[in-house]
Amino acid sequence: MDNRDEVLGGLLTLGFDEASCISRVHSHLYRKVSPHRPSPYLISKLRNYEQIHASCGPNTRTYHRNMRKIQLSKDNNATATTCNYLIWTPVNGLGNQIISIAATFLYAILTDRVLLLKFGKDKLALFCEPFLNSTWILPHNSPFWKEIYIQTYQIEKDNASNSKSVLFINLQHSHSDSSHKEKFHCDHLQNLIRKTPLLILRSDQYFVPSLFMNPLFNLEINKMFPEKDTVFHHLGRYLFHPSNEAWELITNYYQAHLAKADELIGLQIRVFNAVSTPQQAIMDLVLSCTLNHKILPKVDLQTSTSSVGKNGSVKAVLVASLYEEYGDSLRRMYQKKPKGSGESIEVYQPSHERKQIFNDGKHNLKAWMEMYLLSLSDVLVTTSLSTFGYVAQGLGNLKPWLLYRIVRNETHFPACEQDFSMEPCYHDPPKHYCEGKPLKDFASSFPSLKECKDFSFGVKLV
């Protein structure tokens, strides 16, 4: 290991106080070194962004001066400021939020805006500050915290010649007014936004592919990411360092249960509708996937000589699910195995929250801990369409086995398929070209975009 592993091949900058964010310096002890090195251009863009953030971000005189100006002219035509800002506002679960922050950060880099996150108490204990000597959290005394206030800045006409000092754009999936979302990447809307000192953006999506559809952004993204399927991998590892509190949970759990295993299998079982989908149907799907693809051994074969795995080796299975029944059932199955034959399978499930809870710091900590632990897996099985799984696969440089998403009691073959890339899927890409013509086939118009395996309406970069 050399110093470059500690700074992730130059992705991270030196100078941080180590004690304030232990994971930043210790994560390389838990993760395999990424075979994907960040490009020199990406590194230079990150260093440049850090400078902008440090000189224009919260706690600087420039920030206060600019925000005062924006505040005074908020209902008028755009005022000129020395720096421009981008406030990200959350919606949906933590996985959705993490992937959309990464996409928003890329947009901030592409447009030289200072990224500020509207983080409530439920998220303050999750991550370290990513930018040296500054914060990425929107100060709590900012007037732009108020929800009711934000909505009044909706773009009314995307062809307006006079831009405002504050604009709000909603890129949330299934948001009813889709016209701006559809055209976000288009030049005419970007030209309008460019003159606006403060853009407030709401998103739960990984909208990087739509940025890629803009010719100017496309050139830059290509230069920053010669390997296009590493956008989230690099930006995620750059931005999301577990806070000391989260890191303690992650490393304690890892040391207690997972460190001694020869192989770690991550198994993320997301049940989108627990009422309509029986547990047995999901369990059958999980077993069909993991046993057929030899991710886990068949129990009754273990005593025979054809047993997969070496004698005495240990496979740890980390189950992430809201429901404890999945971990329990798998554990019971492997407890039956006669000792001393084949490999032993140990099943762990850190939590079982039973339901998604919003605005709850402890609940979010558990979710973040599990996404991170899953990202340390050697082999990852995730549930189709789940952004929780996307975060783990991107951070971990893993092409997951995607469990088919059953909605009722149906059986499905194949139960899972391996993804072709670790990039998150963009579930809600534009359905029209900027001039309004329907956009039917992404791949023929944008050769770097491919239909997602887990959601045929979605696209991802390849």
From the CB of 96, what's the least distance to ligand GDP, in Å? 4
Residue type, 392: A
Residue whose CB is less far from ligand GDP, 37 or 118? 118
Q: Is 170 in the site for ligand GDP (CB under 6 A)?
A: no
345 - beta bridge partners? 315
Question: Helix or strand or coil: residue 290?
Answer: helix
Q: Is 279 in the site for ligand GDP (CB under 6 A)?
A: no
440 - beta bridge partners? none
- ∠ at Cα 389 (225, 108), nearest 5°? 40
Comparing CA positions, the residue from 98, 386, 134 lying closest to residue 237 is: 98
Composition of the chain by helix, strand, coil, percent to 5: 40, 15, 45
With b meaning 16 or more CB within 10 Å and e meaning fewer, what string describes 304-338? eeebebeeeeebbbbbbbbbeebbebbbebbeebe
The residue within the footprint of ligand GDP, chosen from 81, 210, 290, 351 (CB under 6 A), is 351
Residue whose CB is less far from ligand GDP, 9 or 95? 95
Structure tokens belonging to residue 243: 């806070």
Residue whose CB is less far from ligand GDP, 99 or 221? 99
Instruction: Tell me the C-alpha distance between 208 and 205, whole Å.
Output: 9
Instruction: Tell me the C-alpha distance between 229 and 117, whole Å.
Output: 25
Q: Is 277 in the site for ligand GDP (CB under 6 A)?
A: no
Instruction: Determine if the peptide bond prior to 297 is cis (ω within 30°).
Output: no
Residue type, 178: S
Residue whose CB is less far from ligand GDP, 175 or 363? 363
From the CB of 92, what's the least distance to ligand GDP, in Å? 5
The pair phi, psi for residue 286, each rounded to 5°, is: -60, -45
The residue within the footprint of ligand GDP, chosen from 70, 83, 94, 264 (CB under 6 A), is 94
Residue whose CB is less far from ligand GDP, 114 or 391? 391
Comparing CA positions, the residue from 34, 27, 426, 445 lying closest to residue 230 is: 34
- The answer to whether the CB of 285 falls within 8 A of the CB of 406 is yes
Query: Do strands 379-383 and 449-451 pair parallel, antiparallel, or not at all (unpaired)?
Result: unpaired
From the CB of 94, what's the least distance to ligand GDP, in Å? 3
The residue within the footprint of ligand GDP, chosen from 119, 144, 153, 388 (CB under 6 A), is 388
The piece of 88-96, 108-116, 231-239, 288-296 that touches ligand GDP (CB under 6 A) is 88-96
Residue whose CB is less far from ligand GDP, 112 or 248? 248
Q: Is 90 in the site for ligand GDP (CB under 6 A)?
A: no
Instruction: Tell me the C-alpha distance between 85 and 107, whole Å.
Output: 11
Instruction: Determine if the peptide bond prior to 414 is cis (ω within 30°).
Output: yes
From the CB of 321, what's the least distance to ligand GDP, in Å? 5
Comparing CA positions, the residue from 236, 220, 212, 230 lying closest to residue 41 is: 220
Residue whose CB is less far from ligand GDP, 25 or 91? 91
Q: Is 452 in the site for ligand GDP (CB under 6 A)?
A: no
The residue number with the shortest CB distance to ligand GDP is 93
Residue type, 255: Q
- The answer to whether the CB of 195 falls within 8 A of the CB of 205 is no
From the CB of 193, what's the least distance to ligand GDP, in Å? 26
The residue within the footprint of ligand GDP, chosen from 118, 337, 366, 427 (CB under 6 A), is 366
The piece of 63-71, 94-102, 166-174, 212-220 that touches ligand GDP (CB under 6 A) is 94-102
The residue within the footprint of ligand GDP, chosen from 9, 57, 90, 95 (CB under 6 A), is 95
The residue within the footprint of ligand GDP, chosen from 227, 353, 378, 451 (CB under 6 A), is 353
Q: Is 320 in the site for ligand GDP (CB under 6 A)?
A: yes
Q: Is 356 in the site for ligand GDP (CB under 6 A)?
A: yes
Residue whose CB is less far from ligand GDP, 94 or 213? 94
Q: Is 367 in the site for ligand GDP (CB under 6 A)?
A: yes
* Interacting residue ranges for ligand GDP, rule: CB under 6 A: 92-96, 270, 320-322, 351, 353, 356, 363, 366-367, 370, 386-388
